[in-house]
Structure 1
Amino acid sequence: MWIRHVFLGLAGLTAGAAVAGGTFAFLIMLNIIPRMIGKTKTAARICLYENMIVLGGIGGNLLSVFLMMRIPLGHIFLGVYGICAGLFVGCVAVALAEILKTFPVIFRRTKVKVGLWVILWFMALGKTAGSLFYFIRRLSDS
């Protein structure tokens, strides 16, 4: 019986490592992390970025595996986590759209030359409003 548990544990560990490696390779291919480092001019803290990415991946995996575990940190922690998760998803979505050249094509066809940052802000605010509507109305329960 214990051999089955050891085998399942090793299979889960290797599968998780493969998925995590693919995810991090995808993020690097999209140039998200190097671009954020370049925009914030914090290249001297590259080791901190690497450590936080790895710890975030490990922490996310642990939380997703042990969902029944309760973390009594309150609503403030939940809000901070929600903001960080939303920023992450937003960065991935915008980077993917940029890699696929979605924004340049749309802006060229609509002849938009100025105010691109305003459009991006409204896209982010729309995504935030939609997420808030979804969770406040508890649409995930239905």
Structure 2
Amino acid sequence: MVILAWVVEILLGIAGGIAVGSGVIAFILVLDIVPRLAQLTTSYNKVHWYEGALITGSLFGTISDFWHWEGSFNPIISLIIGAMHGIFIGLLAAALTEVLNVLPILAKRLWMKNYLFGLLMAMVLGKVVGSLFDWYVYRK
């Protein structure tokens, strides 16, 4: 029974990683984050630095989450870091509303037009169930 629980956890982890990774990649590609940043800053020769920063930040965030890294900062530094996180999440939420038109295109290309509502409901229910599990069961 323990092995079955591990298999379920592995499958859920892979599915969650694919869903989150796909969302981040869709966000970056559809909204042309890196080219737009290079255009705004007139630094086309530094595009590789931007891409490297995205990859490094993702890797650092993943590792720090897996290994439960914690830090103790000065309240002013914590305020600045918190403000940066809030700004990023707010901009991400606003930009993802534009990315939602990716779902109808994906459904059309995968011949799932008739199942679009089911696909959307599966995503919503998965998010709700995952959040409830995290809030009420997994929290230590």
Give the structure-1-normalised TM-score.
0.47
Give the structure-2-normalised TM-score.
0.48
Higher RCO, 1 vs 2 (CA within 8 Å, ≥6 residues apart): 1
